[in-house]
Structure 1
């Protein structure tokens, strides 16, 4: 980690500290203590176990896509990769550090850069396709209720949805309509030339065409590896189900019994909203959206505040802490032939 990453951690801690101070200022400490005493310990342990399980699923995806060479690497070598990704997602704006950090972690275990990049791209493609179904179904069945009750927040959720879906649709277009995507891209670049000039657009054109080519080649690789594609897809669904279900089990720990579908849909919409918050970890925006949307299920302010703290720690600070451990404890390096 460099100076910029440390600055990211400091920014996150300052904003999170401000949120905690604001919440404690408006919530009597005795009420929080009473709420904490009433927590169901079994479900609380389950919350952390499910979060760890989501990391296990992600490590399994990477091991599966590493083909026949996966047996040469230790279990820790793969498990630390999602932890490191969680760390750098947490401390960089818009989670931009997650992908590069995974590449570094895979090279630290001895994997060549080109092969590691290929595996990460295949993982990214599978993940985005699985996420597409989650986002579309959530907007289709749950957005109307949010728009009616929280119109301001609903607008930002919809913008986040459009950002996610645009990138996923571009990826699918590359995989299934390669020539058409290239033609459309070149046509758009010609229009941009009139606005930004030929020299600047030339670099954009080359970069975009290179990405299209890379995604296309990795997509073709995935189509040939049907068994690994199936296993990785099942593991990705498991990873997403674990991560999306965290708030539901937190509510069970608070001795509330809402609908799993309703709570999971709310959580997915929070994730969409967080995509447009440019602060590391979406600090501030994440807490605000959680408290706004989950007020539907939690009437007590003390329980809502406690639930928000538990959710933020489990899905954010736990990964940050474990990521630091993963970054420090490096695996035995196995050089590829």
Structure 2
């Protein structure tokens, strides 16, 4: 692994460790011991199972999208290692920028040609963005009171996170359903920017953007033609997100705390919106702070809060790093496609 990624892990460990140290200093050891002794280990196992099930769904999505008559039969591990490698590189790069290239590399390693691998990932990305967009929008519509009452200090950042996602998803939908108009609008916008930015830079940007618009449009048309695949993948994506979004609720159950699944999940989705704009590897610092904001609503003693935060950080972050390292090291057999494209 590159040295810069190693240092990213060190940064996250240092920040997480420091925050835990501050919390532990302010937390009586007796409270922590009581919280640990009262843990529901069955539910704790379920929490880990939720995270792994989320990876399983993503692997199934890739397997379904890759299916075609001439596709060689690959082991399930060939697909399962893709989301865990993505998680590893999302975790150790600022704003999760390393996940997409890592997925592409993982697919190429098992014999899927680069262009086809890019196509599969684009199809998965389009569906994922649309499903996440629906989750974010429904949460804001039906859970806006939580922003006002529970997340007043984070509300500005939550709105920024939502705005970024809304704009990017609407742009994708515009490409899918209004291809020519979107292309013309993009060119007009770039023509306007020429007044403020050097022409060569704008032309380079234009070439990249038009290429991406064409690629997205081509993949969206493929999705429309394969309706049975599309339905299966949408359902699996919904399931994948339900597993992931339900992890905080599972942690509360592990701590023997009763709460509303809907309320906890809505709050968790808002926190994920906030974490999306933190420019540090693993959203360090902001992740821990936002967790405390969420769980302090339900966990009244500091011992349970610190323990809960540690479990959440381990399951959603460090577990992914460990599994991702295993996935990167253990490579399945490489099987070439019988045709390319």
Compute the TM-score of the two structures, normalised by the length of structure 2. 0.96
Output the aligned Cα RMSD.
1.1
Query: 1:39 maps to what in 2?
Result: 39
Please say if residues 63 and 70 of structure 1, whose CA atoms lie closer than 8 Å, have aligned partners that are also in contact: no
Q: How does 1:25-104 map to 2 (within 5 A)?
A: 25-68=25-68, 72-104=73-105
Unpaired runs of at least 5, structure 2: none
The 8 Å contact of residues 143 and 154 in structure 1, kept in 2 or not, is answered as no
What's the CA shift for 1:147? Answer: 2.1
What pairs with 1:133-152 in structure 2 (closer than 5 Å)?
A: 133-152=134-153
**What is the alpha-carbon distance in structure 2 between the residues aligned to residue 75 and residue 174 of structure 1?**
33
Judging changes above 3 Å, is the alpha-carbon distance between structure 1 residues 317 and 70 closer, same or farther for their aligned structure 2 residues?
Answer: farther
Larger helix proportion of the pair: 1
Partner of residue 220, structure 1: 221
Report the Cα offset of residue 70 of structure 1: 5.6
Q: Which moved more, 1:186-195 or 1:2-11?
A: 2-11
Residue equivalent to 2:158: 157
Superposed displacement of residue 199, structure 1: 1.5
Match of 1:180 in 2: 181
1:237 is matched with 238
Q: Distance in 2 between matches of 1:166 and 1:48?
A: 33
Provide the residue aligned with 1:316 in structure 2. 317
**Distance in 2 (alpha carbons) for counterparts of 1:216 and 1:202:** 21
Q: Distance in 1 between matches of 2:145 and 2:154?
A: 12
What secondary structure, in the 3-state scheme, does the structure 1 residue paired with 2:306 have? helix
The residue that corresponds to 1:9 in the other structure is 9
Which residue is equivalent to 2:108? 107
Paired with 1:322 and 1:59, the residues of 2 have a C-alpha distance of 14
- TM-fit CA distance, 1:164: 1.2
| Within-5 A mapping of 1:241-280 | 241-280=242-281
Q: What CA distance in whole angstroms lies between the structure 1 residues aligned with 2:227 and 2:27?
A: 53
> Post-superposition shift, 1:148?
3.5
Partner of 1:131 in structure 2? 132
Q: Deviations over 1:69-88 (max 9, x none)?
A: 56611111111111101100
Q: 1:71 to 1:230 in 2, by over 3 A?
A: farther
In the alignment, is the contact (CA less than 8 A) between 2:5 and 2:92 conserved in 1? yes
2:20–2:306 contact (8 Å) kept in structure 1:
no
Query: For the structure 1 residues 265 and 333, does the alpha-carbon distance in structure 2 shift closer, same or farther, using more than 3 Å as the test?
Result: same
Aligned length: 337
Runs of 4+ aligned structure 1 residues displaced above 4 Å come to none
| TM-score, normalization by structure 1 | 0.97
